[in-house]
Amino acid sequence: MSKEQILADLKTSVETWNIKLAQDATNAAIAEGISIGDIIGDGLGKGMEVVGERFDKAEIFLPQVVAASKTMEAALKILEPLMSKGEGALKGTVVMATVEGDIHEIGKNVCCAMLRGAGYNVIDLGCDVTAQDFIDAGDENEAQVLGGSALMTTTLEAQRELVEAVKEVEAPYKCIFGGAPCSQAWCDEIGADGYSETANEIITLVDKLVS
């Protein structure tokens, strides 16, 4: 099977949440000597991008995104032993969570899946997470980026608090934010390092910040 066909199968497997196809294509990719970077970046990640676009347009919903994430995770599990040998070192570590006072996780979960598919180590702290917990997780996992989602106007202020907490302890983290009430103007105002309007944009944003 050609490299192009294997990568196309990897992409299709995530788009159609077909775990068996993902596993077969991943094993075929390894057998053909395709690099982990290509398997994730040009195969699985491309499928996740399509899933992200369709989710942003409300063509599919959270259950399908979760199914796509599980498909990708099944493939990543096969790649794990190779990654730990350094054959496809992860690009960096991102701590993700919904900010303090907010319990909405849909957008954040999609972003976590997108980043994992793009080759990042993602530490998902869940929802209603304090600035201190973000920083502690960043310290423990040697993260480069902290990503905080807010889905309610009342919890936007927690994003500002995270930026201020990071500055206060002079931590080296880049803070990025998203969520329905969040905007580029808001992120500029609070001194954040980046804003992602859609799940799809987060990969480009994080790539830029950790490069």
The tens digit of pLDDT for each residue in 3-13 reads 999 999 999 99
CATH superfamily of 3-84: Methionine synthase domain (1.10.1240.10)
* Per-residue pLDDT, 79: 87
From the list 49, 55, 132, the residue with the least C-alpha distance to 95 is 132
* Per-residue pLDDT, 162: 98
* pLDDT tens digits along 140-174: 999 999 999 998 999 999 999 999 999 999 999 99
* Per-residue pLDDT, 84: 61
Residues of the chain with pLDDT under 70: 83-89, 117
Q: What are the residue ranges of CATH 1.10.1240.10 in the chain?
A: 3-84
* Per-residue pLDDT, 87: 53
Residues 6+ apart with CB under 8 A from 40: 76, 79, 88, 117, 118, 119
In angstroms, the CA 12 to CA 62 distance is 18
Q: Kindly indicate whether the domain formed by 93-210 is annotated with CATH number 3.40.50.280.
A: yes
* Per-residue pLDDT, 115: 84
101, 128 in Cβ contact below 8 A? yes
47, 68 in Cβ contact below 8 A? yes
